[in-house]
Structure 1
Amino acid sequence: MALVPCQVLRVAILLSYCSILCNYKAIEMPSHQTYGGSWKFLTFIDLVIQAVFFGICVLTDLSSLLTRGSGNQEQERQLRKLISLRDWMLAVLAFPVGVFVVAVFWIIYAYDREMIYPKLLDNFIPGWLNHGMHTTVLPFILIEMRTSHHAYPSRSSGLAAICTFSVGYILWNSSP
């Protein structure tokens, strides 16, 4: 019943995201005091998605360690449901939103920094936190995809779910 390195890595990644979220929420920025606060920013929503996803990964790992060899059909059924949720969340939210946030942020940053991350933010957000929000997401999710087998949902249901998320985010951001 020894822990596999990818299981330990998932715990480390989850703790990393929790640290980034706590440090980000501790920052006193004027935009956090407006309607919607941090939830208006796709970067923050992505951090929450990644933290929840890796939390589900850790929960799945713990459940599989605890139910291994028990022979309990109900526990194994619940574990399969948890694995299905983990795989669905990776395919529909964690990977597409994470890659989008990283790619769009750094492309716009390279084109015109002031458009996406004004120098004024350097007074509030330290460089390590900026990279925690906009850089580490991609390697973490790619490591997860390479170290574990995932069963992906059908293309139509995956596209429907990510489109629903996208429309919801756009509607949420277009409100006052």
Structure 2
Amino acid sequence: MFFALQGDIMKDPEIETFAALQWAYITIWNVIFQLAYPCLGILCDLPTILEIKEHVLIKQLKTYREIIFASIILPVGIFITFVFWPIYLYDRELIFPAFIDKVLSQGSNHVMHTAIFLIIAWEFIFLPKSAPESHKVNLAHIFGCYLSYLIVLFSTHYRIGAWPYPLLKLALGTIFFPMIFIGVGVLIHLIYFAQWPINKLIWKTKEVVKEN
């Protein structure tokens, strides 16, 4: 996509606006998360790969890897997959207008909106995790990320005068506009908490008392 946004195609007003809005797409944020997380995983696995003693820093990184996966990677990735496709299939112009096909193939579309679910499922199933005694740190990561995204989203709209998703333009000025953002926050919150009973079912782990 980044290579496609070069040359004469940038003379297209729709593509020019799309390029200016790209950092306001939550999918682009998720791509960065999905690329950074495996790098963190490789660092955590280096002692095993190199057969060396595990440094205390690696132990801390492993702890943080669990936090990042539970609070960012899983909730955001699952949210994107299960919200994007129903809206796309109903009316793609609400979330992913057809003009984007000029710079983003359907294959790339599936990489960003379908494959992420399979990758998350693989990690969730094969890497054991335990529920934290307190969810405060994880929730701080979730809503810190969401707040950061909202700041970028609204500041981008202020600068450019456009929304990345046409659905927001249609909802602007109605009760549905704030309800969209409230609904997103609630759904991500539910996805986060849903992972623990599923994790327990997979690994038959003993439930840890949670401090909400």
- Alignment TM class, shorter chain as reference: 0.7 to 0.9
Which structure has the larger Rg over C-alpha atoms? 2
Partner residue, 1:31: 17
Q: How does 1:7-46 map to 2 (within 5 A)?
A: 24-28=1-5, 29-31=15-17, 33-34=19-20, 37-46=21-30
Please list every run of 5 or more consecutive structure 1 residues that lacks an aligned counterpart in the other structure. 1-23
CA offsets 1:59-85 (integer angstroms, 9 cap, x no match): 2122332254x3xxxx43122111112
Determine if contact 1:98/1:138 at 8 Å carries over to the other structure.
Answer: yes
- Tell me if structure 1 keeps the 8 A contact 2:43–2:58: no
Partner Cα separation in structure 2 for residue 149 and residue 161 of structure 1: 21
Paired letter, 2:4? I
Q: Distance in 2 between matches of 1:84 and 1:52?
A: 16
Task: Work out whether residues 67 and 76 of structure 1, in 8 Å CA contact, stay in contact via their aligned partners in 2.
Answer: no
Offset from partner CA, 1:32-65 (integer Å, 9 cap, x none): 542xx52211000000001101111122122332
Which segments of structure 1 move beyond 4 Å, counting only runs of 4 or more?
none
Q: TM-score, normalised by structure 1?
A: 0.75
Q: Is the 8 A contact 1:40 1:173 kept in 2?
A: yes
Q: Give the distance between the partners of 1:112 and 1:32, measured in 2 at CA.
A: 19
> Residue in 2 aligned with 1:113?
92
Q: Provide Cα deviations, 1:131-171, integer angstroms capped at 9, x if missing partner.
A: 01111000101101111123454322212220111112112
Corresponding residue of 1:172: 152
Distance 1:121 1:173 in 2: 19
Give runs of aligned pairs for residues 4-153 of structure 1, distance below 5 A: 24-28=1-5, 29-31=15-17, 33-34=19-20, 37-68=21-52, 70=53, 75-153=54-132
Q: Conserved in 2, the CA contact under 8 Å of 1:84 and 1:151?
A: no
Q: Percent identity?
A: 27
- Tell me whether 133-142 or 75-84 shows the greater mean CA deviation: 75-84
Aligned length: 146
Moved more, 57-66 or 43-52: 57-66
1:160 aligned to which of 140, 147, 150 = 140
Q: CA deviation at 1:124?
A: 1.7
- Between stretches 155-164 and 140-149, larger displacement belongs to 155-164
**Distance between the aligned counterparts of 1:141 and 1:156, measured in 2?**
22
Distance 1:32 1:110 in 2: 21
Q: Following the alignment from structure 1 to structure 2, what is the Cα–Cα distance between the partners of residues 27 and 87?
A: 35
Q: RMSD of the TM alignment (CA)?
A: 1.8
